[in-house]
Amino acid sequence: MGAARTNEDCVTTGPMDEGLGKRLAVGVAIMSFLIVAVALSGRLGLRHVVDTTQDILVRDTHVSEEALNARVATLLLRRYEKDYFLNVGAPDKQADYLEKWKAAREGLRTRLDALDQLVPSEEDHATLRAMRADLTTYLAGFEKVAGDVRSGALATPQAANGAIAQYKDAIHHMEETSEAIAGASDIKMDKRLALLKQDTAQTNNQMTLIALLAVAVAALIGMRARGVMKAATAL
C-alpha cells in the first residue's frame, strides 16, 4: 500500500514540478530583462551626461574665454591708440606703440575667427559679422588719422583725439558686444548645468525604479515557489 502511495505521489507531483519550472523560467527571464534594462538605462544616461559635460567644457567655456579675450584685445587697441596719439612729435615712441597696436589688431582678428568656429547659432554668427564691420570702421578711421599725424596735418594729441572721435562708437560697440557674448555664454552654461543635474537625477530615478521592480519580481517568484513547494509537500 505504501508503494502504491509513492507511485501516486510521483504521478501527482510531476506536473506540479513542471509548472514550477516554467514559472521559475519566466521569472528568471523577467529578472534578466530588468537587469539589462537597468544597465542600458544607466549607460544611456551616463553617455548623455558625458556628452553634455564635454560640450559645456569644450564649447561653452571656450566661447566665454574667447569673447573675454576679444574684449581685452579691444581694450588694448584703444590703449595703444591713445599712447600713439599722446606721443605726437616722438616718432620712435610712436613706432613702438604702433607695433603694439598692430599686434592687438591681429590678436582681435584671431579671437573673432575662433569665435566664428565655436558659436552654434546663426544669430551668434550675425553678431560676429557686426563686430567685424565695427572693427573695419575703426581700423579705417585709425589708419586715416594716423596718416594725418605722420603727414603733419594733425600736429597735437588733442587734434588727433578729436579726429578719431567719430570712429570711437564702432570700437565701443565692439567692446560691449564681446562682453555680452561672454555673459550670454555664461548664462547658457548655467542653464545647461541645471539641465544636466536634472538629467542625472532622472537617470538615477529610472535605474532605482527598475531595480525595485527587479527586487519585487524576485520576491514574488520566491513567494510563489515556496507556495508551490508547500502544496507539493502537503500531497
- Per-residue model confidence (pLDDT) at position 193: 59
Q: Is residue 106 part of a domain?
A: yes
| Residue position matching grid coordinates 529610472 | 206
| pLDDT mean over 71-93 | 94
> 24 Cβ partners below 8 Å, 6+ apart?
221, 225
Q: How confident is the model at residue 85 (pLDDT cuts 50, 70, 90)?
A: very high
Q: Is residue 23 part of a domain?
A: no
Amino acid identity of residue 153, one-letter, is A
Q: Which three cell numbers stand for residue 202?
A: 532622472
Over residues 125-131, mean pLDDT = 91
Asked whether the predicted pLDDT for residue 200 surpasses 50, the reply is yes
Question: Residue 197 gets which letter from DSSP?
Answer: H
8 assigned to some structural domain: no
Does residue 2 belong to any structural domain of this protein? no
pLDDT-derived band at 221 (thresholds 50, 70, 90) equals low
Q: Give a yes or no: residue 6 inside a domain.
A: no
Residue 209: CATH number of its domain? 1.20.120.1730
Instruction: Specify the amino acid at residue 116.
Output: D
How many domains does the chain contain in total? 1
pTM: 0.59
What single-letter DSSP state applies at residue 165? Answer: G
Instruction: Write the CA distances from 67 to 6, 86, 103, 225, integer angstroms.
Output: 88, 29, 17, 67
- With respect to residue 114, please indicate whether it lies within any of the assigned structural domains: yes
What is the domain range of residue 152? 28-234
Weakest-pLDDT range from 35-44, 64-73, 95-104, 108-117: 35-44
Cell triple for 68: 573675454
In a domain, 139, yes or no: yes
Cβ–Cβ under 8 Å, residues 74 and 174: yes
Note whether residue 132 is domain-resident. Answer: yes
Cβ within 8 Å of residue 123, ≥6 positions away: none
Q: Is the pLDDT of residue 47 over 90?
A: no
Q: Which amino acid is present at 100?
A: K
